[in-house]
Amino acid sequence: MRNVIRERRESQGWSQAELADRLAVSRQTVNAIETGKYDPSLPLAFKLARLFGEPIETLFDDAP
Amino acid sequence: MNPFIDMVRFTPNEKRYYRNSIAPTVAFLAVMAGSAMLVREYRDEWPFEVLAGLALLPVLPMVWIIKIYIDYFRDCDEWEKLIEIYGIAIGVLLVGMAYFALGLLGLFQLVVLDGTLLAYGMLPAVMLVYTLGKVVGRWRHG
């Protein structure tokens, strides 16, 4: 699944480690999500949406 | 970030796990050496129950290590749990399959298997392949 997490994080000026701290996950987890190799659980997706102040569907795109 | 570089950068949870594993690992080696020495020395003098207890003593530090691993797993985040499960699944399935294949060779009397060596080597084999499975999991999902 494609996502814009990296763009949103960089626009906030956060490193992967800073975003990981805010989400209470490891930096590797943030990296795996950003590269699209791992799709987060619904609770973590909601956390991301709340953190960036956007709905989940603008952060994640499941279109082929 | 390069996922292979990430593999050698430990998270606080991983650091705690490795730090906590030192004592039971040292205990295992010490108990193993002590048990082997005592059983060999007093095999003909002490009753079977005592010798069996001594021989099984190294299981205790292994249980301690498993408890530390369970604590580590509990504190993993969701992606880390996926990688752990990936490693465990690959470890158990591949070693199980290898044992099954060896069993077939033994069943058809094509090879003579040392059951003691096989039983003793199973857990280390699972742990080794589990580690390789984690590397594969991180490569695929990291």
Looking at this predicted complex, what is its ipTM? 0.90
The answer to whether residue B139 neighbours chain A at the CB level (below 8 Å) is no
Predicted TM-score of the model (pTM):
0.85
* Chain B residues closer than 8 Å to A24 by CB: 77
- Chain A residues near any Cβ of chain B (below 8 Å): 16, 24-29, 31-33, 35, 37-38, 40-41, 44
pLDDT tens digits, B106-136 = 999 999 999 999 999 999 999 999 999 999 9
Nearest residue to B141 via CA among B77, B71, B64, B45: B77
Please compute the mean of the pLDDT values over residues B53-74 and round it to a whole number. Answer: 96
Under 8 Å CB-to-CB from A24, ≥6 apart: which residues?
B77
pLDDT tens digits, A20-64 = 999 999 999 999 999 999 999 999 999 999 999 999 999 999 887
Distances B112 to B54, B102, B141 between C-alpha atoms, Å = 29, 10, 41
Under 8 Å CB-to-CB from B27, ≥6 apart: which residues?
B60, B61, B64
User: What is the token pair recorded at B127?
Assistant: 């742990």
The alpha-carbon radius of gyration of chain A (Å, integer) is 11
